[in-house]
């Protein structure tokens, strides 16, 4: 049953000034069993920024209730130092959730969500072993496992993911389709800072020097878009040239088929540009859908890419 006040303005949401904070699966199940109306779910690892905020705002518009999870998932880290360094800002995250009128925040400990080491996990198949999967072995299996658990616990009608993590988004969609999970996956556009860098929780770990160097990533995206009229090879080469002139340590620059992440077919009309690079100790990713035409990009910037 949907509240007569509508998804964005239900009486329950309007009356609540603080989100309910739930720390265990049992507490989440109990809370969820008492709720009526549609649920929108935004899974996060915390350190919330405007990109997360845009997903939460969309979930607020499209659903009666909004649930946000905040959980730094150890299963998707292949580097213990990276797990330890990942930013954790629970108090400010809860304040942002309050401002955005989130109804419930699921913020479990690792022990609460994984009372024992899981014997059964979700495997990402071929797509989970290439690109990000090759650079971070086991990362996508860990991500899919926790997302499957969270979708089961929250039981949302819709779950919201950002397009910046393009391979993650593709894998979640594949899991939902292959396992017939009863949820609609909604993608939110990549948001960028004024300097063009895609918003990421990891950006907070950049000092001034590496922040300046990291701007080469959106410049590479823009260079590829400008060169796309000359085809996929020219677009990729343009991105590589920009990155080679920076101090970044490049992991990969690839153009793939947007739906399958397979190598791009000759003559393809579109390709997904994927970039991963290290700015000092911080690993950053970006992506952009490119269209290869004979007319040229006529000065239009890729979606979400401001002045860089």
- Is 52 in the active site? yes
Q: How many other CB atoms are there within 10 angstroms of residue 247's CB atom? A: 13
Q: Which residues of 68-87 are buried (b: 16+ CB within 10 A; e: fewer)?
A: bbbbbbebbbeeeeeeeebe
> CA torsion 205→209→214→215, rounded to 10°?
130
CA distance 7 to 34: 17
For residues 159, 164, 168 and 169, what is the CA-based torsion angle, rounded to 10 degrees? 40
Question: Which of 52, 123, 139, 152 is the catalytic position?
Answer: 52
Residue 36 and residue 45 in contact, taking contact as beta carbons nearer than 8 Å: no
Tokens of 232: 């996929």
What tokens were used for 124? 């990402």
The edge-to-edge listing of strands for the beta sheet with 39-44 is 20-22, 104-106, 65-70, 39-44, 158-162, 184-188
Helix (H, G, I), strand (E, B) or coil at 276: strand
Residue 188, φ and ψ in degrees, nearest 5: -105, 140
108 close to 179: Cβ distance less than 8 angstroms: no
Sequence-ordered list of residues with C-beta below 8 angstroms from that of 3, at least 6 positions apart, any chain:
10, 11, 12, 36, 37, 64
Q: How far apart are CA 89 and CA 161, in angstroms?
A: 20
Q: Looking at the chain, which runs of residues are DSSP E strands? A: 20-22, 39-44, 65-70, 104-106, 158-162, 184-188, 249-256, 270-279, 282-291
CA 13 – CA 17 distance, rounded (Å): 8
Q: Which residues are catalytic?
A: 52
């Amino acid at each position: 049953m949907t509240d007569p006040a509508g998804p964005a303005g239900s009486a329950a949401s309007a009356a609540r000034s603080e989100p309910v904070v739930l720390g265990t699966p049992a507490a989440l199940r109990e809370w969820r069993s008492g709720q009526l109306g549609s649920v929108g779910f935004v899974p996060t690892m915390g350190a919330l920024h405007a990109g997360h905020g845009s997903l939460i705002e969309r979930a607020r518009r499209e659903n009666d209730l909004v649930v946000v999870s905040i959980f730094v998932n150890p299963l998707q880290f292949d580097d213990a130092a990276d797990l330890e360094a990942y930013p954790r800002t629970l108090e400010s995250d809860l304040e942002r959730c309050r401002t955005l009128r989130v109804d419930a925040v699921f913020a479990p400990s690792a022990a609460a969500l994984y009372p024992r080491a899981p014997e059964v996990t979700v495997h990402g198949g071929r797509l989970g072993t290439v690109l990000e999967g090759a650079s971070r072995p086991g990362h996508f299996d860990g991500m899919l496992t926790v997302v499957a658990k969270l979708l089961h616990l929250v039981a949302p009608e819709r779950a919201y993911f950002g397009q910046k993590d393009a391979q993650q988004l593709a894998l979640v969609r594949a899991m939902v389709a292959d396992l017939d999970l009863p949820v609609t996956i909604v993608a939110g556009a990549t948001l960028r800072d004024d300097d063009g860098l895609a918003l990421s929780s990891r950006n907070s770990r950049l000092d001034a020097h590496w922040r300046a160097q990291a701007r080469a990533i959106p410049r590479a995206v823009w260079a590829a878009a400008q060169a796309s009229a000359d085809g996929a090879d020219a677009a990729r080469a343009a991105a590589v040239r920009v990155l080679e002139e920076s101090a970044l340590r490049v992991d990969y620059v690839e153009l793939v088929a947007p739906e399958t992440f397979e190598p791009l077919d000759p003559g393809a009309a579109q390709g997904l540009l994927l970039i991963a690079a290290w700015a000092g100790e911080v690993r950053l990713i970006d992506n952009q859908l490119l269209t290869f035409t004979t007319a040229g990009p006529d000065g239009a910037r890729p979606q979400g890419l401001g002045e860089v």
